[in-house]
A and B are shown apart, each in its own frame.
Chain A
Amino acid sequence: MLVADNISKKFSGVTALDNVCLQLHEGKVNAIIGENGAGKSTLMKILSGVYTEYEGRIIYKGETVRFKNTKDAQSKGIAIIHQELNLVPHLSVAENIFLGSEVTTPIGLLDKKQMREATKELLNRLKLDVNPDTQIGKLKVGQQQVVEIAKALLHNAGVIIMDEPTSAIGDKEVKVLFDIIAGLKQEGKVIVYISHKLDELFAIADRYNVLRDGRFIESGEMKGISHDRLIQKMVGREIVFNSKRNLLGEAKVLLSVNNVSLNKDSERDKKLLKGISFTLNKGEVLGIFGLMGAGRTELLETIFGLHAKNATGSIIVDNKEYRFSSPSQAIREGIALVPEDRKKDGLVLGLDVKQNICITTLDRMQRMGVLDSGREASLAEMYIGRLHIKTSSAKQLAKNLSGGNQQKIVLAKWLATAPKVLMLDEPTRGIDIHAKTEIYKLISQLAGEGMGIIVVSSEMPEILAVADRILVMCEGIITAELSAEDATEDKLLIKAIPKTI
C-alpha cells in the first residue's frame, strides 16, 4: 500500500499541491477526482519519480522512499500512464513499449524478435490490432493511448497509476481496459485511476479521493455515494445540468454536404470517407457519433479544406457552393473547426493567451497596418470573461494552463471569427465536469443565437446531452440518422460497430 504524507509542491509561483495526504489501497481501484488543475497529475508525477523536488514523504510498503528518477520508481514497482501521450513518434510500437527497458541478447545487442513477440502478446491482451513495427506517429490518438497502457503493463508493477487513460479511446477499448483492471485487482495490485468521466468511476472504482485546488478534501468508498454528491465534493458547489433548449421555429439549411469522399493519399484505393451527405440547420446542434477510427475527424477536416487534394464532392454554405481548398477559405465562408488534439493542432503553446485568441482575427486587430494591442487585449479579456477561462492574466503562456482552460482558448479563438458553422471534434476530451457543463451551456447558447454546430464525440452521454440530431458513422460512411428524442445508447452502438466482425 502506497501513502502520500503531507506532500506539497510549488511551481514558480503556483502552489500545485498543499499538504496532501492520501492512502492508496492494494487490490482496490483508487479513483482520484478533481477539477482541471486540482493537482492530480502533479501528485502522480511525484509518486512516480518524475518530480524529485517536493516536501513531505512517500511511504511505500511501510518504508519511506524517495525516488531518484522515473527508472528508480519503475524498478521499485511503480508504473504510470501519463496524461499527455509520451511516445516517440518515429519509433515503432514495440520500440516505444520497450523504451528504457530493452531486452538484449547475451552479447548486448537488441533482441528485436523477442520484443516484437512480447509486444504482440500485450497488444492482443489489449485487443489492439496493429503491427508492432508500425510507427507510432501513424496511429490515431486513441490507438496511441492504448500503446501507453501497454507500456505501463509491461513490467508487472505493484502500483499502476492511470492518469486519464480513457481520454482518447472509444467504449470498445474502455471495456477491454476495465477487464484488465479487474484482472490486476485480483492480483492484489494498487491501482490509481484518474478520470473526468464519472460513470467510468462508478463502473470500476472502489474508493474515491477528492482533490480541490491542490488540497486533499476527503476519501471514501464509492459504494453508496451518489453521482451528484461526488460532483459536489469535487467542485465544492452544486452543478445544475442544463436542460435542453427548444429549437428555433423554422429550420433553415445552413450547410449541406453532398456526396463527400476522401481517399488516403498514400493508398489511392482506400477510402477514408465514402459518399457522405448531410445537412445542418441554422441553430441546430448536430452530433456525430462513431467509434475510434470511424472517419469523423477526417470528415470535419475535409469540410474545413484540409484534404483538398484527395477529396471529392461538394459543400454548400448559405446556398453558396464552395470548393474546400484551404482553411483560410473555409474560415472566410464562416466555418470553424476546433480540432481533436488541442496541443498538436489547436494552440501555439509558446504564445500567450491573448495572442492565441486573436490569431484568427488579426486582420481586425490592426490600426494603420499595425496591430493594436488595446483591441487585442479587449477581445481577449472579453472571452476570458465570457468563457470563464482560468488564467493569471491574458499574457499567461498557453502551455501553463490546464487542459480545460486550453480548450476554452481554442473555442474563443474560433468564436472570435463569428462563424456560421462551428465544428467541434471531441470538445470535452480530458476536461473536468465543471468545464464540461460550461462548454455544453455555451454550445446550446450559441445554437440559440443561430449558429450551426457539429459536435463529434465518442462519449454517448455527451452526444445525447447536447445534440438535437445525431449521425452515426462507421468506417467512413453514415450508417444512421436519429433525432435526439428517439436516440438511445444501444441504437447508436449497434449502428456504430462495424458489420465485418
Chain B
Amino acid sequence: KAGNGRGTHKKVAVIVSTLNNPWFVVLAQTAAAQARALGYDTKIFDSQNNTAVEADNFENAISAGYNAILFNPTDADGSVSNVLEAKAAGIPVFCMDREVNSVDAATSQILSDNYSGCVAIGKYFVEKLHKHGKYAELLGLVGDNNTWNRSKGFHSVVDFFPGLTMVAQQSADFDRNKAMEVMESILQAHPDIDAVFCGNDAMASGAYQALVAAGKANDVKVFGFDGAQDVIESIQNKKIVATGMQFPKVMAKTAANYAGEYFKGKRDFPKKMPVAVELVTQENVSDYTGYGKKD
C-alpha cells in the first residue's frame, strides 16, 4: 500500500518522456537528485517518447511499490490514463514541464508554458526583424504536441505582421543533424532568408552549423527554444540571437519537494503551478547558464 511506509523507506519514481535529449536528462537527474537529497529511494524511468512504454513504466512503478511519481508526460492527452491509473492506486503524481489534460488526475502540475514562451520569442523575433523579412521555421517531431504548442505560440504573434513571410516550414525531428541538412536545403531554395525559428535548441545549433557552412552566419538570425548549455554559450558569443529559457531544474526541484511535503501529510497543492519561460537574448544572457539562472 502506498503512503504508509516510513520516511526513509519512501520510494520516488521519476518517469521522464525521453532521455534522448539533454534537456530531459537534466530534468530527470535533478528531480532524482533532489528526491534522494530528501532521503528517498529514487529511480528514473525512460518512456522513450512512447506513451505505451510510459504505460508500462507506470504499471511497473506501481507494482514495484513506489510511493510517489515525479512525472514528465510524453503527451498531454495520451498520458492521462496513466496518471489516472496511479491515482487509482493511491499514488500521488507530480507533473513536470508538460501538463496532462485532466483537471484532477495529477496531484499537482509544475508546468513550463511553451505556448506563452514562444509568444515572447515571437515578439522579440518581430522586433529583431523590424517587422519584415523572409524566415523559415524548423518544426520538431510532427507527432509531438509540444512541436505545435511552440509553433502556434510563435505564429500567434508573428502572423499579425504581413511584412514577415514564412518561405519554408519543415520538420527536423528536434534533431541537430537533421536540422543542419534541412537548413542546407532550405538555404538553396531561399538564399535570402533573414531568420530561422527552431522548435528547440538542438535544431537551432544544427541550423547555425548549416549557416556557418554556407557563410551566412551573420546574415541569418537564429532563434531557438529550451535554454540548452551550448546555445546559451552561442548567445554569449553572439552566434544565436535568442532562446526561450525553461527552468527544468526549478521544476524538478519543486516537484521533488512537493512529493516530500505530500509524505509529511500536506494535501492542498496548487493544481497548476506555471513556471514562466524567460526570453534569453544577447543583452540579458549574462544572467543565465545552461538550463537555468545564474545564482
**A–B direct touch in complex (beta carbons closer than 8 A):** no
Interface residues of B (CB under 8 A from A): none
